[in-house]
Every structure is written in C-alpha cells, then in structure tokens.
Amino acid sequence: MKIAIIGTGYVGLVTGTCFAEVGHEVICVDCDEAKVKLLRDGGVPIYEPGLDELVKKNTGTGRLSFTTSTKKGVEKSDVIFIAVPTPPQPDGSVDLSYIEGVAREIAGAMTGYRIIVDKSTVPVRTGEKVAETIHRYGHAGVEFDIVSNPEFLREGFAVEDLLKPDRIVVGISSQRPAQAMKEVYEPFDAPVMVTDINSAELIKHASNSFLALKISYINAVSIICEKSGANVQDVAAGMGMDERIGRRFLNASLGFGGSCFPKDLSAFIKISQELGYDFGLLKEVQNINANQMDRFLKKITETLWVLKDKTIGVLGLAFKQNTDDVRMSPAIEICQRLLKEGAKLRVYDPKAMEKARVILPEAVYLKDMNNVAEGCDALVVATEWPQFKELDLDRARKGMTCPIIFDGRNLFDMSEMEKLGFIYKSIGR
Ligand code: UDX
C-alpha cells in the first residue's frame, strides 16, 4: 500500500517505520524542517529500542521517506494517517487544533478518493468533526472516507508493540475503506476488530483510563499494606494469578506519568462531562495518583526532616524504563519538589539526561549510576530501569553520609537491603 503519515512524533515515526518494514511504501510528513532533515540524514530524534536500525534499513530500501510537504504525501498515497499531537489544555480538554489544521491541509491537497485515518488519541466524536472539516475545505466532488485506528503502543516497547500488536481496532462508517485497511494490516499477525468510528475512539480512552485505574487501585492497596504490615507485591502476585485480573499494571509505584495516561484521563473525564456524565471514578484515579507522589515525598521529609542543603541522589529521570521521554515524568516531579525544598541533587538516567538537563539545569548529572550516591544523605529510585538492580550497593552505602534509600519502584529486596545496613523505604511493603 502507498501510505502517508502526517506527524513524525513517537506514534507517527514508529508507525511509518514499521509499515515500511512490512513492505508498504511510506512517506512521513512533518512540518518541523530540522526534524525532517535529521531523519533524511539517517538520524532519529527519539530513543526507542530497535527504531534506529529499522529507520536506516527502510530509508535504505527506499520504502521510507520524509518530507515537509503534506501535499506531496497526499498526492503519493492511498491511505493517509494523521498522527499529530493532541496536547491537553488547562481545563483538561484536548487541543484539537493540530488535527483540524492537518484535516484542512489534506482537504486542500486531495484531488481524488483518499482514506484518512486518525491515529492520534482523540475524544469520541472527533472523526465526525474531521469529516465535516474535509467536506468544507475539500474540492467539490472529491470523495473520501474517515477511519479511526487508535494506537496502543507503549513507549520503550513501541516497535515490538507495533510489529506484534494484541489487537488492531478499525472504526469505519462505510464498507468502502474496509478492504484497504485490511491490506494495510494484512502483514501483521493480529486480530482486527472492526467497529463504528465512535466506538473505536472510545476504545482508546477507555483502555488507557482502565490501565491507569489498575495502577491507582494497587497504589491505594499499597497504603493499606503499609498500614497493616502486608506486602503489596505479594498481594499483587496473588491477585494477578486470577486470569480475570492479570498481574500486569499492578506494580505499586510513586504514581504513573508520561504523555498519555494523565492526558487521556483528563480528556476522558472532560468529554464524559460534556456528554452529561460525571466520571467520578476516574477523578478518584487522578486523586490517588497525586496523593501517591505526596505520600512518597512525605516519607522523605519525615525521615530526613529538613531538606535544605541535603544532598539527594536520584536514579531515574524518564517517566518509565526504556525511554528518554521526560514528559510528565514522576521522577522529574520528585526532583523539582526536592529542589524546591532546598535539596541538592545528584542524578542519573541511562537515556533521559539530555532531555532532563533542559528542565533541571541545577542538578549534577553523573555518567555512571555507581557515582550518584557519593556524599548523599539519601538515594531515591524514581524510574523502573532494570539496570538499577545492578547498582553496587556496597559502594553506595560506603559513599553515603547516611545509608538511606527511598525506592519509588520497589526494585530491591527488602531483607537484603536491611542486611546490607540500609534504612530502606519502598512502596506498600
Ligand atoms: C500507555 C499505554 O500503555 C499504551 O497502550 C498507550 O498507547 C499509550 O499510553 P506509555 O505511556 O508509553 O503507554 O507507558 P506505560 O507503560 O503504560 O506506563 C505509564 C506509566 O505508568 C509510567 O509512568 C509507568 O512507570 C507507570 N506504571 C506502569 C506503574 O506505575 N505501574 C505499573 O504497573 C505500570
């Protein structure tokens, strides 16, 4: 298939690259000239395992190309995917201006039938608006179909998720685009669920909100574990053995972050309100998440008393493992709040230091995680990078002023930490 992807962010770039990898001819469009140049020169603007190689391989075969011209993308393609940002607004609703702008550009460039697929995460009924916009700004008599095809990839595992998806959701309002969408996804060995556009849009918001709910649920349970002397990891393991519940996304933590869950929750609450339903359950998911961060900071201040002039080491800056993304990162929030209290920070992240430096210029950035603890009054684990489990704990303890660890990701074994002489505080254990 000949495919255009408008927007080369996390979703657009990974999607375009994987479509090329399975044999489609893909042209990626982005208005950011510097980014397009970087991609054309063989660079990749984000860290995503496996992506670099696939971009190089597929630009090499000529199946993947980059342009700043939407017109060119639309002219050369049968199916046009919209993968532009849908950022949150201060009131929690979604800023759909990028989607609307791209819809107008596509409309202006279309000279014959095209399938326009929305991949960006949008509130239910956005497809209807995109269709209206294209009707309004398109050339008379030019036909098109709108499809909703939400993306479920996780950052850090995006290539893997895209090449081996659990399911593909395709929302259509007529049968005409069904065959082309089938061909786009034929090479992927995954069940395709075809539904109406509104349901497809809702599947995305409902799925992400449910996953966030699962995390807030276990985080609330972690409070009861702390108060009763139970262990949240054992509780999660026991719950997860019930197939109806499942173990995944039951890792208690200092809270979820990233560019999706916080935004999608707010957007889902907002659109529900607009449709006349007060989604109180999801508001509580947000409250529990905010409270979890407060509780974690309270543990630190209760132990260290005054933070002013204390040196604190922080392991992890990305919002989760396997990514350099620091958007809405709980790790960054911890750092900002510690700095506000007057603490000095020594920080390390395997991939996110460059992006974090822009937000936290005051911190001292270390190249080796084993140097972080040197001279620290406490060490905080803020991101679940598996390599942190390999920290030289003996060296850390010897180098610290006080051997105190606050583990916001439950990475270490409690009894081992005590045996090593640490004061060790984690979540729900
Ligand atoms: C999420 C969805 O998983 C994905 O399907 C969707 O397409 C985009 O949004 P992502 O934001 O990349 O993906 O990250 P995810 O792995 O879901 O983690 C989100 C946050 O929750 C991270 O801060 C992570 O550390 C936290 N988390 C996750 C927990 O605190 N506990 C868990 O058990 C799982």
- Residue 261 makes CB contacts below 8 A (sequence gap 6+) with 208, 211, 212, 215
pLDDT at 257: 98
Atom of ligand 1 nearest to the CA of 155: 12
Instruction: Name the percent of the chain lying above pLDDT 70.
Output: 100
* Gap from CA of 171 to ligand 1 centroid (Å): 24
pLDDT at 163: 95
Q: Cα separation of 402 and 354, whole Å? A: 29
Residues marked active site are found at 260
- Mean pLDDT computed over 166-193: 97
Here the tokens at position 224 are 């009861």
The sheet with strand 344-348 has its strands ordered as: 364-365, 344-348, 311-315, 378-381, 404-407, 423-425
Ligand 1 in contact with 333 (CB < 6 A)? no
pLDDT at 154: 94
168-172 vs 192-195, strand pairing mode: parallel
Mean pLDDT of the chain: 97
Here the tokens at position 270 are 């907002």
Phi and psi at 112, nearest 5°, equal -150, 180
Q: Cα separation of 130 and 107, whole Å? A: 10
* Gap from CA of 100 to ligand 1 centroid (Å): 28
Q: Write the pLDDT tens digit of every residue in 167-180.
A: 999 999 999 999 99
Q: Write the pLDDT tens digit of every residue in 201-212.
A: 999 999 999 999
Q: Cα separation of 364 and 345, whole Å? A: 6
Here the tokens at position 408 are 């916001």
Query: Residue 26's pLDDT band (boundaries 50, 70, 90)?
Result: very high
Supply the pTM of this predicted model: 0.96
> Residue 149's CB: how many other CB atoms inside 10 A?
23
* Gap from CA of 334 to ligand 1 centroid (Å): 18
**Residues facing 327 on adjacent strands:** none
- Mean pLDDT computed over 363-370: 98
Q: Write the pLDDT tens digit of every residue in 257-267.
A: 999 999 999 99
Q: Write the pLDDT tens digit of every residue in 93-149.
A: 999 999 999 999 999 999 999 999 999 999 999 999 999 999 999 999 999 999 999
pLDDT at 201: 98
Q: How many helices (H) and strands (E) does the chain have?
A: 16, 14
Q: Write the pLDDT tens digit of every residue in 270-326.
A: 999 999 999 999 999 999 999 999 999 999 999 999 999 999 999 999 999 999 999
pLDDT at 43: 94
For the chain, the first-to-last Cα distance in angstroms comes to 52
Q: Which of 214, 254, 256, 349 to mutate to test the pocket of ligand 1 (most atoms within 8 A of CB)?
A: 256
Instruction: Name the percent of the chain lying above pLDDT 90.
Output: 100
pLDDT at 217: 98
